[in-house]
Amino acid sequence: MAGSTLEIKDLHVEIEGLEILKGLNLTLKGGEFHAVMGPNGTGKSTLASAVMGHPKYEVTQGEILLDGENVLEMEVDERAQAGLFLAMQYPSEISGVTNSDFLRSAINSRREEGDEISLMKFIKQMDAKMDTLDIDKNMAQRYLNEGFSGGEKKRNEILQLMNIEPSIAILDEIDSGLDIDALKVVAKGINEMRDDSFGCLIITHYQRLLNYITPDKVHVMMQGRIVKTGGPELAQRLEEEGYDWIKEELGIEDETIGSK
């Protein structure tokens, strides 16, 4: 199946009147994995929230297109139905909704009426993905993220990803809080998704995740825009040398969003 294309053009985003994204351009195609790196506070999570339609983030200029369709005109649920998925940095706890019910509803929301996944097929699929991610089976009946450890929440985000099978996913610091074994397991799950019909944007601070998931491109964000793009070797150099060399190369004194 041919993959989707996410195009972000000259994106400007404000939060409470403060401009955070200042002309960001990025194209992600099905079959591609891109990493987004950058110092703290340079707008990486803002990018993720703006693409998914968080109401606090106001797009003041630019475009977000999914297969040519204007994403900015879609509500959050319509964006999910269209194939976008965000694994959040801080997943919410939702009491009263079991993990299993949530997942089944999420899967069915992307299917036509009358074509809902059968209970048997759903359980089989979820069980297999839980095995891949080394998730305890009783997590299926627990309330969504309630009382989950930080690492369990992250694994659960990937369980959702693997079951919902979006066409484009943004993973916001999916590696934070994971121990070494969990990192490998989560990377295995994400790698299993590699397919021409799936594109993935991986926001991370650390090269170590990229040791397990090889990105096709690595982007560096500073001052609310992408300032450099390269291959996996760029992430390697950042791990070894930090960000100062990029600032020097580009004549950037202050990488945060308040600066020009």
Ligand X SMILES: Nc1ncnc2c1ncn2[C@@H]1O[C@H](COP(=O)(O)OP(=O)(O)OP(=O)(O)O)[C@@H](O)[C@H]1O
- Is residue 90 within the footprint of ligand X (CB under 6 A)? no
Closer of 42 and 160 to ligand X (Cβ): 42
Member of 1, 16, 73, 251 binding ligand X (CB under 6 A): 16
DSSP code of 27?
A: E
- Is residue 22 within the footprint of ligand X (CB under 6 A)? no
**Cβ-count burial of 175 within 10 angstroms (0-12 exposed, 13-18 middle, 19+ buried)?**
buried
Work out how close the CB of 154 gets to ligand X at its nearest, in angstroms, rounded to a whole number: 15
Member of 46, 99, 156, 163 binding ligand X (CB under 6 A): 46
Nearest 10 degrees: CA dihedral of 140, 127, 177, 84?
A: -90
- Is residue 204 within the footprint of ligand X (CB under 6 A)? no
> Are 146 and 93 contacting, i.e. CB atoms less than 8 angstroms apart?
yes
Member of 3, 6, 26, 42 binding ligand X (CB under 6 A): 42
Work out how close the CB of 41 gets to ligand X at its nearest, in angstroms, rounded to a whole number: 4
DSSP H or E run through 77: helix 76-82
User: Which residue stretch of 12-20, 27-35, 77-85, 102-110 sits at the interface with ligand X (rule: CB under 6 A)?
Assistant: 12-20
Total length of the chain: 260
User: CB count, 10 Å around CB of 8?
Assistant: 21
Kindly report the backbone phi and psi dihedral angles of residue 9, in degrees, each rounded to the nearest multiple of 5, phi listed first. -125, 125
User: What is the rounded CA–CA span in Å between residue 213 and residue 112?
Assistant: 33
> Are 235 and 37 contacting, i.e. CB atoms less than 8 angstroms apart?
yes
Member of 45, 160, 204, 223 binding ligand X (CB under 6 A): 45
Closer of 16 and 112 to ligand X (Cβ): 16
Work out how close the CB of 38 gets to ligand X at its nearest, in angstroms, rounded to a whole number: 6
- Is residue 40 within the footprint of ligand X (CB under 6 A)? yes
Member of 6, 8, 11, 20 binding ligand X (CB under 6 A): 20
Closer of 56 and 111 to ligand X (Cβ): 56
> Are 109 and 194 contacting, i.e. CB atoms less than 8 angstroms apart?
no
Member of 3, 30, 43, 62 binding ligand X (CB under 6 A): 43
Member of 23, 41, 151, 230 binding ligand X (CB under 6 A): 41
Kindly report the backbone phi and psi dihedral angles of residue 51, in degrees, each rounded to the nearest multiple of 5, phi listed first. -65, -40
CA angle in degrees (0–180, nearest 5) for 254-202-219? 45
Tokens for 34?
């891109």
50-69 positions binding ligand X, by CB under 6 A: 56
User: Which residue stretch of 3-11, 42-50, 119-127, 157-165 sits at the interface with ligand X (rule: CB under 6 A)?
Assistant: 42-50
Nearest 10 degrees: CA dihedral of 193, 194, 195, 200?
A: 90
**Site for ligand X, rule CB under 6 A:** 15-16, 20, 38, 40-46, 56, 257
